[in-house]
Amino acid sequence: MKILVTGGAGFIGSHLVEKLLDEGHEVTVFDDFNDFYDSAIKEQNVASFGDRVQVVRLDIRDREKTIQNTLQGKFEVIIHLAARAGVRPSIADPELYLATNVSGTFHLLEAAKQLQVQQFIFASSSSVYGNRTEVPFSESLALYQTISPYAATKVAGEHLCSNYSHLYQIPTVCLRFFTVYGPRQRPDLAIHSFTNKIYRGNPIQQYGDGSTARDYTYIDDIVQGIVASMSYRETPFEIFNLGGSQTTQLSELIKLIEEALGKKAIINQIEEQPGDVRVTYADVSKAEKLLGYNVTTPIRYGVQKFVEWYLANRS
């Protein structure tokens, strides 16, 4: 099968591409290798693909190039992971997030419409739920308020996907990812950043009293869910949570990293940040029933696996 993975040079994307190659698919990657974090990390990710993957250096904000390259590829499936990520940076530069995450998604949907792809998969986020108090989060919850521009762009992306599925008969799945972690995780994200600083004896910034909680999802489980969604056909449009289906408080996460490293953290407690939610917690029963999704990596084991990767690759 001919598959386009946008954002395929990144953390989630590169793991997904490896899995798709293992399954014998023909894969093309779109990625702009931007400077959100060190682009050398993405370069290293794609270098591991060798000549098995066509890598197109492309900014999805460019409508003409995005549509042209997508049509030329004659893809059967589009897996759209490319986005400007992060809650706090989106508050600092909302226009960039709107241009990339909303307009960029629109450009890909326009191309998907012309190709009449077999499946369009959109990477959404648990941030769409905002500061909900009803946990675990179910896909049926009404999304009446988001608290960051990043989250708003993901809601907008879901609605665009719904529109195009309805209007142009494009089979579409939106996947709400819950705090993905694992080997090759972006260096700015909590588990990677904390591990690096604790290992080097540098202080870590703990936002609030450590009671905020996240549903951390190991990368292998996310990839499993994405691949399963490629063959979903029961409805023309659907939304699924992909999470670890358990919550871990920030203070407990730090302890798990300390245990895995065998080092104590130096903690600087600072105020919670605008746009950060108090808790995320995925109800994955729908994905279990309709996709066969199955969480295989609990947080303690996942953190240990990440730390092992970090220690082997810290240079």
What is the per-residue pLDDT for 278? 83
Which of the residues are catalytic? 150
Tokens at 215, concatenated: 């549903």
Q: Residues of the chain whose pLDDT is less than 70?
A: 275, 315
Beta bridge partners of 121: 79, 173
What CATH number has the domain spanning 2-181+219-243+281-295? Answer: 3.40.50.720
What is the per-residue pLDDT for 314? 81
Domain ranges, ordered by start, for the chain: 2-181+219-243+281-295
> What is the DSSP track for 222-275?
HHHHHHHHTT--SSSEEEEEE--SS-EEHHHHHHHHHHHHT----EEEEPPPTT
Could you tell me the strand order of the sheet in which 237-242 lies?
A: 53-57, 26-31, 2-6, 77-80, 119-125, 172-177, 237-242
Single pTM value for the model: 0.95
**C-alpha dihedral, 302 to 304 to 307 to 309, nearest 10°:** -70
Q: How far is CA 123 from the centre of its chain?
A: 6
What is the per-residue pLDDT for 33? 96
What is the per-residue pLDDT for 284? 98
What is the per-residue pLDDT for 134? 86
Decide if 212 contacts 249 (C-beta within 8 A): yes
What is the per-residue pLDDT for 315? 66
